[in-house]
Chain A
């Protein structure tokens, strides 16, 4: 087990190298001189002399590979440089914004579980009932309505018309409600349907018939035999989406002016704030890979066939 985790973590190294290289190159492909941007952000007119001196300062006059290796060496020591815009260390900027994103994501995840678990179970138990039809419609809408539009609709309805919730910003739990709901809806919709399908699959399994034939109470049949098996694929998918949600909060954060890393990222992209973009991409990669690892670990814990090896179909 320890060996397995170690191997997986070791596998993280090439992934991160690859990602850092790709973002490094992509960012530099943009037809815009970082030195000029740097000067503009510092309110200094970009004269050719100034640009040349800043290029030398930032090391932009050196060959690309040297720049990359330099960046890599510093990054390995957790020094991701200084933001062009704020002149603060990049890592400090991101860690400052990260709690807000984490809070938003955790709230959304809680919301997703709170909605999709009962809804999925009920939709499966009362298949083709009004409730099932309604959840199907909701899933369809949830999966197809784009985040930003949904965000605006919710702001219009709950903040402007009904005046129940604040429009923008972060602070009270009330501030959290709309962004979390916006981020959660499409996931909740997907998981409701996924759990329903998965439950229905398991309900027609031989072992469920046998459980009933042994005279188990229906609650035990559903809880231990149907749900436990039905949750396996849902767990995998859900774990994968944690990374998606953390990284995917970009749009929602911008719509609701939520001061998280997503908004920092978009702001940095507009400003060509390269060090921040680079660091953001790397951190998201780490989060993604770690989430996958956690999912795989959870799977081993949940499914004895994987834990004990040599599973038979």
Chain B
């Protein structure tokens, strides 16, 4: 039996009004995350991965920006939450790990203070209690010398250590859902594996659901149960990790997967062309220009999601009701 979803995102849309039109950043993003499950969000730069994270946390706002759709966390809608309520949700129920640990910490404030101020913003803990909690979580995140780390300033720690601190801060609140935006992009390969292991371990221990954003197929394969492939603000395909890597359905996913480096590959195959401008993006398929498998049906296709037997979702004209591509794809 399936558990109730912790995070339910339904038709999330983000528009930015700019001189000359509207930039359609997110075009109806929907997904669910259950306890202990990890959804990987995969896509190239500028496809809306980071915006998805930020708007879930209510942090994507400013002049000209409209966010619509529905986000439910633990059964409660987050879209009309007053600012103070939203603040108390952020960091506690919905924790975040940022992309670049080197610039995510205030250079004038010690690591310990970053940690305790977070704890004390969400609980009535005293300074000493918060300090104890922080030390414990730093150890769990793989920083045994936690006392020293607490007293240091961010510039005295390495990127990997800061990333661990960020993981520790996020997990110390026992959040329902963790949003990790490119958690390991700025780290070198050995460290990447360690930190991913640490994150996986903590997620399992605390039964935390997670959204892991990455353009790195390896990260997604390592952590995620399910993958959503994003392109131009659309989720163009969503499937379990095994299914997606085995049999990618969307032409974009296929192109993305074939652009991976491999031992037997002599040359890398890039995805040809550039994504279209999101300014005044129409309703038709944004991958049309770059797609190697264009057909007549594509012209009339308006990005309706196709749910295939088995629950996979794909947004491609080739998988419409009357199409044989499904069979070809699955064969």
Contact = CB atoms under 8 A, between A and B. Distances in A.
Interface of A: 205-207, 209-218, 220, 224-225, 228-229, 232, 302-305, 308, 310-312
Most A C-beta atoms less than 10 A away, residue of B96, B108, B156: B108
Given A206-B104, A207-B104, A308 B153 contact: yes
Contact of B57 (A213, A216, A225): A213
A169 B91 CA distance: 60
Contacts of A217: 87, 121
A118 to B, nearest CB: 22
B211 to A, nearest CB: 13
Nearest to A215: B91
A307 to B, nearest CB: 9
B103 interface: yes
Interface residues of B, number: 31
A213 B90 contact: yes
A211 B105 CA distance: 8
B15 interface: no
Contact of B121 (A214, A308, A310): A214
B149 to A, nearest CB: 15
Given A216-B91, A220-B117, A220-B121, A210 B105 contact: yes
A224 B121 contact: no
Interface in B266-313: none
16 contacts: A207-B103, A210-B98, A212-B90, A213-B98, A214-B90, A214-B91, A214-B95, A214-B117, A217-B121, A220-B121, A225-B106, A228-B108, A229-B107, A229-B108, A304-B108, A311-B107
B89 interface: yes
A217 B59 CA distance: 14
A304 B107 contact: yes
- Chain A, interface SS category: helix
B92 interface: yes
Contact of B106 (A228, A302, A310, A312): A228
Contact of A206 (B59, B89, B91, B100): B100
A47 to B, nearest CB: 70
A207 B91 CA distance: 14
B47 interface: no
B261 interface: no
Contacts of A211: 106
Given A215-B89, A305-B153, A308-B156, 8 more contacts: A213-B57, A213-B90, A215-B90, A224-B117, A225-B106, A228-B109, A229-B106, A311-B107
Nearest to A127: B63
Interface in B74-116: 87-92, 95-96, 98, 100, 102-109, 114
A215 B92 contact: yes
Contacts of A232: 108
A310 to B, nearest CB: 8
B155 A215 contact: no
8 tightest Cβ-Cβ pairs between the two chains A and B: A215-B91, A215-B90, A213-B96, A206-B103, A214-B91, A210-B104, A214-B118, A207-B106
Nearest to B100: A206
Contacts of B117: 214, 216, 220, 224
Nearest to A224: B109
B122 interface: yes
A175 to B, nearest CB: 41
Nearest to B99: A206
A232 B108 CA distance: 10
A287 B155 CA distance: 34
B230 interface: no
A213 B86 CA distance: 10
B164 to A, nearest CB: 15
B307 to A, nearest CB: 33
B118 A302 contact: no
A215 B93 CA distance: 10
Contacts of A205: 103
B121 A207 contact: no
Given A209-B59, A224-B117, A214 B103 contact: no
Contacts of B122: 215
B38 interface: no
Contacts of A218: 87
B98 A209 contact: yes
A216 B117 CA distance: 7
B9 interface: no
A305 B179 CA distance: 30
A304 B105 CA distance: 13
B169 interface: yes
B234 to A, nearest CB: 25
B120 to A, nearest CB: 9
Contacts of A209: 54, 59, 98, 104
B86 to A, nearest CB: 9
Given A229-B106, A304-B108, A312 B121 contact: no
A242 to B, nearest CB: 23
Contacts of B91: 213-216
Contacts of A215: 87-92, 118, 121-122
B118 A212 contact: no
A207 B117 CA distance: 14
Contacts of A224: 106, 109, 117
